[in-house]
Amino acid sequence: MLVDGKHFRTIWFDEQDQVVRIIDQTRLPHHFKILELNTLEDSCFAIRTMQVRGAPLIGATAAFGLYLALKEDLPFEEAFNQLLATRPTAVNLRWALDRVAAAVEPLQDHSQRVASTLETAQAICDEDASNCTDIGRHGVSLIRDIAQAKKGPVHVLTHCNAGWLATVDRGTAMAPVYEAVENGIDVHVWVDETRPRNQGASLTAWELYKQGIPHTVIADNTGGHLMQNRMVDICLVGSDRTTFRGNVCNKIGTYLKALAAHDNGVPFYAAVPLSSIDWTSDEIPIETRDPEEITHIHGLNTQGMLDRVRLTPEGSTAYNVAFDITPARLVSGIITEKGIFQANEDNLAKIKP
């Protein structure tokens, strides 16, 4: 997507300098900073500390992590396990690691293994960008149908960041929005701030702002009220792991939006590349994170410096669950690169790779 008129992916291999580069998402929206990944440890650190985040981008970064590990001559299996342990919920992580492992497994020659790992990581990136474009092309039909049936903008509500920053390019849930805007459809996005890490307020708002798309940031608990007052036409969210039965795991708070949507007859769709579908299990490991993400908040201070302040009393404890599960019965459909499918086992089986 464009940042001040220049196209950026969220991760790329710089052929000239032979390094992997990422956008440091921990500094957005205040600073646009590009970092280099040179080692396996850099890649693990980037995923763990959420310099990169979002299910497809976590997978792509892990694939590059294996390339960097082989370049450092580190044992492949250890690197695989180290990367796998960085974050538990997004199934793209395992998917990408397995894909790289399958590519290098038949190769004996070290330089061939290094080259194949890099090639596979780049293929994962290219395919992710193209899959997200296809998700946009399929998903835009939902927005177009609403636009044709009403006057004024189509109001989309989204949670967390499921835009290009969560993927390699274009995004999942935001891809239909970008497609709609490019097709001249009038769209406005309600952006849930998404506590505790505020990926909506800091990342989704920033990327929509950079693309010039009308949007309004709302506190996390506002969506229900907006839906009761007919101010939301459709909810579009991403997913870190969708099971073969159509249960959708996404950032904490997604489930409450789905309940409110169901109660108010608002369509609720998850945009999901096939790499985010777990075909093997209906069990979803839910990440719990540092309680400090709840007790403290980050932002720019009055001196224009990035700062962190405490919100809660010193003695209060906090419990930081990062994801929740929206059961398939609350999901109107799953938008994939292959089309839109009902959230159930029979329908999803049609697109099982």
Residues that bind ligand MRU (CB under 6 A): 53-56, 90, 160, 162, 166-167, 172, 199, 238-240, 250-251, 322
Q: How far is the CB of 75 from ligand MRU (least distance, A)?
A: 28
The residue (of 26 and 295) whose beta carbon lies closer to ligand MRU is: 26
C-alpha distance from residue 162 to each of 170, 265, 309 (Å): 9, 23, 27
* Cβ-based neighbours of 34, under 8 Å, separated by 6 or more: 21, 22, 23, 24
The residue (of 160 and 335) whose beta carbon lies closer to ligand MRU is: 160
Cβ atoms within 10 Å of 217's Cβ, excluding its own:
18
Q: How far is the CB of 53 from ligand MRU (least distance, A)?
A: 3
Instruction: Please indicate whether residue 240 is annotated as part of the active site.
Output: yes
Q: How far is the CB of 172 from ligand MRU (least distance, A)?
A: 4
The residue (of 54 and 333) whose beta carbon lies closer to ligand MRU is: 54
Q: Is 76 helix (H, G, I), strand (E, B) or coil?
A: helix
Q: How far is the CB of 166 from ligand MRU (least distance, A)?
A: 4
Q: How far is the CB of 99 from ligand MRU (least distance, A)?
A: 17
With beta carbons less than 8 A apart as the criterion, state whether 150 and 233 touch.
Answer: yes
214 cis-preceded (ω within 30 degrees of 0): no
* Cβ-based neighbours of 104, under 8 Å, separated by 6 or more: 66, 70, 76, 113, 116, 117, 120
Q: How far is the CB of 17 from ligand MRU (least distance, A)?
A: 27
The residue (of 121 and 196) whose beta carbon lies closer to ligand MRU is: 196
Q: Which of 220, 240, 282, 346 is catalytic?
A: 240
The residue (of 104 and 208) whose beta carbon lies closer to ligand MRU is: 208
Question: From CA 94, how far away is CA 208, in angstroms rounded?
Answer: 30
C-alpha distance from residue 135 to each of 130, 140, 142, 173, 273 (Å): 9, 8, 12, 8, 7
Q: How far is the CB of 289 from ligand MRU (least distance, A)?
A: 8
The residue (of 93 and 154) whose beta carbon lies closer to ligand MRU is: 93
Question: From CA 127, how far away is CA 7, in angstroms rounded?
Answer: 17
Helix then strand then coil, % of the chain, to nearest 5: 40, 20, 40
DSSP letter at 286 equals P
**Residue 292 C-alpha from the chain's centroid:** 22
Burial profile 91-120: b = 16 or more Cβ within 10 angstroms, e = fewer: bbbbbbbebbeebbeeeeeeeebbebbbeb
Closest-CB residue for ligand MRU? 238
The residue (of 51 and 167) whose beta carbon lies closer to ligand MRU is: 167
- Looking at the DSSP bridge assignments, the partners of residue 321 are 288
Which residues are the active-site residues? 240
